[in-house]
Amino acid sequence: MTAFVFNEINFDNHEQVVFASEEKSGLKAIIAVHNTHLGPAMGGCRMWNYATEAEAVRDVLRLSRGMTYKNAVAGLPIGGGKSVIIGNPKTDKTPALFEALGEALERLGGRYVTAEDVGTSPADMANVASKTKYVAGLGDRGDPSPFTALGCFVGAQAAIRHQLKRDSFDGLTVALQGLGHVGYDYARRLHAAGAKLIVADIDQAALQRAQDELGAEVVGIDAIYDVQADIYAPCALGATLNPDTLSRLKAKIVAGAANNQLATADIGEACRQKGILYAPDFVINAGGIIKVCYEYLNTPEDGMEAHVRRIGDTLTEVFSRADAEGLPTSVVADRIAEAKFKK
C-alpha cells in the first residue's frame, strides 16, 4: 500500500498519509497531511461513496495538496491537509463513525485539523469534536458556505473587470453548475447584481428553487457546457475543465467554487490559448477556509469579511502577472503560493 501511495500520480511529497479504520463503526478513512511549514494542516473531511480505495487515495492526495496552496495564497497561518471517509453519506452516517474519526485525529496530535466538506456537516463535526479538539466549523456559526460564495463573487468581479473591462454584472450571463450551499448562495449574489443565470444540477428541488427565486434558466448537466454565457461557474465536483468541455465552452471567464477544476495541469495553458480567463480555484474559493481558520484560532472576526474580500485583490495580481509574463493564471497562482510555503 505504501508503494501504491508513493507511486500515485497525485502524490506530491506529502508529509504523512494515514489509513484509519475502526471495526465497530465501520470507519474507513484516509487522512493526508501535505505540508505544515506554515502551521498545522487544515482542510475538510469529505464523505463519498468511492468506487475503489484507489479513487479515495487519489482524491485525498489532490485535495490535501490543494489546501496547502489555498491556505498559503489566502495568507493563513496554516498548512494543507484533507481527510476522506469511504461510504455513502446518505445511508452510512452514524455518530460512532465520526467519533472514531475524532479518535484517529487525536492520535495525530494536532498535525491535522478537520472541518465539514462535501458529504459532511457541522453536526457530524460535533461528533468528531466529542473525541478531539482538532476540529473546526462547529454548529450554525461554523458554516463556511456563505464566505466561500462571497469570495467567489468578489473573484468574479475582479475577473470581469480584467477581462471584460467593466464593473457591473448587468446584462452578463453566468452558466452555473452545482446549486449546493455554496453554489446557490453564489447564484443569489450574482442574481442580485444583475446577472442572468443558466443553471444545472442533479437536485430537481434546487433547480426549481433557482427558477422560482432567481429566474434562472435550467439546462441538463452536460448541456451547461454548450450554452451562450459570459462566465462559466463550476460549483460542483472537480475536473470539469478538460479537452472535451473546453472545446465547447463559449464563456470568456471561468470563476467557480469547485476544487481541482483543471482535469490536468496543461488545461490552464489551453484556457490561455483560447482566450479564457481562468480564476484559479484554490484562490477564488478560499473564503470558507478563511472563515474556519478565524474561528479555530479565535482570531477576532471583525476583520474576517475584509480578509475574504481581498480574494479579489489577489486575483487581480494573478491576472496581471499572467498577462505580463505570458503564463497561465494557474501557473502564476501556484508560484505565489509556493513562494509562501516552500522552505
Give the model confidence (pLDDT) of 209-246 as tens digits: 999 999 999 999 999 999 999 999 999 988 999 999 99
Clarify whether residues 191 and 289 are in a common domain: yes
Clarify whether residues 201 and 104 are in a common domain: no
Computed over every residue of the chain, the mean pLDDT equals 95
Give the model confidence (pLDDT) of 285-302 as tens digits: 999 999 999 989 988 888
* Within a domain: 295: yes
* Within a domain: 264: yes
Clarify whether residues 175 and 195 are in a common domain: yes
pLDDT reported for residue 116: 87
* Calpha distance 200→207 (Å, rounded): 7
For residue 53 the three cell numbers come to 480505495
**121 or 103, which is more confident?**
103
Active site residue 93: no
Give the model confidence (pLDDT) of 127-141 as tens digits: 999 999 999 987 656
Clarify whether residues 336 and 248 are in a common domain: yes
In terms of residue numbers, what domain contains 286?
145-341
Give the model confidence (pLDDT) of 29-81 as tens digits: 999 999 999 999 999 999 999 999 999 999 999 999 999 999 999 999 999 99
* Within a domain: 73: no
* Within a domain: 98: yes
What mean pLDDT do residues 8-21 have?
94
What mean pLDDT do residues 269-281 have?
98
**Banded model confidence at residue 2, pLDDT cuts 50, 70, 90:** low
Clarify whether residues 149 and 134 are in a common domain: no
* Within a domain: 209: yes
Q: CB-side exposure of 203: number of CA atoms within 13 Å?
A: 13
Kindly name the residue from 28, 70, 82, 291 that is annotated as catalytic: 82
**Banded model confidence at residue 1, pLDDT cuts 50, 70, 90:** low
Q: Where are the alpha helices (DSSP H) in 215-328?
A: 243-248, 267-274, 281-284, 287-296, 304-325
Contacts with 299 (C-beta within 8 Å, 6 or more apart), sequence order: 293
Number of domains in the chain: 2
* Within a domain: 240: yes
Clarify whether residues 123 and 153 are in a common domain: no
Find the CATH number of the domain harbouring 56.
Answer: 3.40.50.10860
pLDDT reported for residue 137: 80
* Within a domain: 165: yes
